[in-house]
């Protein structure tokens, strides 16, 4: 007679198995994977510890755990992630939104004060930044990406979060952008260096889109392009606000100043790492970070 597994027994086994496979936070991942298989949240999993699993349920858990053990990102397995307290569909066509990027949204909202205006989001991916800005500030956003597959996901996310009428999506290369009059140009561009690309953890290297990661030999190619384009697409006094990788803030600020942008500033994330660099087409001087 086959052994009957309870939820708690499967949870314990899965946690140990994922830990042996080098997965970070194996207990949390185990809870979420089992919850997905049983259509329960984490509290529901706790309340069902003594529940025996049917064979079909056990097979579903095993299939999900196998994918995670092969270092497929949890977010892709679950098919969604929360960002800015909003749900986002994610697939391997888009970079997984990180909590650090919420600082970029915060700075984007500040740039829209006291007067609002149109927003251009370059390299939108899943649409997380564009949708968060539209949802919070009720502004119109043009979100562009060179990946048609990413734009399909972003469009779904805009619909699911009730901002489809505010966010327009377009397939475009940064260099193909037309002149405009935007209050804010925001971007979380590729910024991983060529050397760092060789050292990424398997979840990133093997599953997330390299197009959204690799920023050239020194990781700064996209920032040079953004700095050149900003004066052509921003209104006078408009802001270019970007996310940067750890240790890149000073170099990006120098690029912006060299391009003639003003009021350059840096903003740290909640771990104390300089995560955002901003600059204006307005008057000279340094803005307080």
Over the chain, what HEC string results?
CCCCCEHHHHHHHHHHHHHHCCCCCHHHHHHHHHHHHHCCCHHHHHHCCCCECCHHHHHHHHHHHHHHHCCCCHHHHHCEEEECCEEEECCCCCCCCCHHHHHHHHHHHHHCCCCCCCEEEECCCCCHHHHHHHHHHCCCEEEEECCHHHHHHHHHHHHHCCCCCCEEEEECCHHHCCCCCEEEEEECCCCECHHHHCCCCHHHHCCCCHHHCECCCCCCHHHHHHHHHHHHHEEEEEEEEEECCCCCHHHHHHHHHHCCCEEEEEEECCCCCEEEEEEECCCCCCCCC
- Quote the pLDDT of residue 177: 67
Q: Give the domain 81-280 fold.
A: Rossmann fold (3.40.50)
pLDDT in tens, 49-75: 999 999 999 999 999 999 999 999 999
Whether the full predicted model's pTM is greater than 0.85, yes or no, is: yes
Domain boundaries, the chain: 7-70, 81-280
Give the pLDDT band (50/70/90) at residue 180.
confident
pLDDT-wise least confident of 11-20, 106-115, 154-163, 178-187: 178-187
């Amino acid at each position: 007679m086959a052994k009957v597994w309870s939820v708690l027994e499967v949870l314990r086994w899965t946690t140990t198995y994922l830990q042996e496979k080098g997965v970070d936070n194996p207990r949390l991942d185990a809870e979420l994977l089992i919850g997905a298989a049983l259509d329960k949240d984490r509290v529901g999993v706790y309340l069902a510890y003594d529940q025996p699993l049917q064979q079909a349920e056990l097979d579903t858990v095993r299939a999900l755990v196998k994918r995670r053990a092969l270092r497929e990102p949890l977010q892709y397995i679950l098919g969604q992630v929360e960002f800015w307290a909003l749900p986002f569909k994610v697939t391997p066509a888009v970079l997984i939104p990180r909590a650090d990027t919420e600082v970029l949204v915060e700075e984007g909202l500040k740039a829209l004060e006291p007067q609002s205006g149109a927003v251009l989001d370059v390299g939108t991916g899943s649409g997380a930044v564009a949708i968060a800005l539209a949802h919070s500030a009720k502004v119109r956003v043009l979100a562009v990406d060179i990946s048609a597959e990413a734009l399909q996901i972003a469009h779904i996310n805009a619909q699911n979060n009730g901002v489809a009428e505010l966010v327009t999506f377009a397939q475009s290369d940064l260099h193909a952008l037309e002149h405009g009059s935007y209050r804010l140009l925001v971007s979380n561009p590729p910024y991983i260096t060529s050397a760092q690309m060789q050292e990424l953890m398997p979840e990133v290297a093997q599953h997330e889109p390299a197009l959204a990661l690799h920023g050239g030999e020194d990781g700064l190619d996209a920032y040079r392009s953004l700095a050149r384009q900003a004066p052509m697409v921003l209104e006078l006094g408009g802001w270019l606000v970007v996310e940067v990788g750890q240790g890149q803030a000073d170099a990006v600020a120098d690029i912006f100043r060299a391009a003639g942008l003003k009021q350059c500033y840096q903003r740290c994330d909640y771990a104390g790492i300089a995560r955002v660099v901003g600059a204006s087409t307005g008057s000279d001087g340094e803005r307080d970070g």
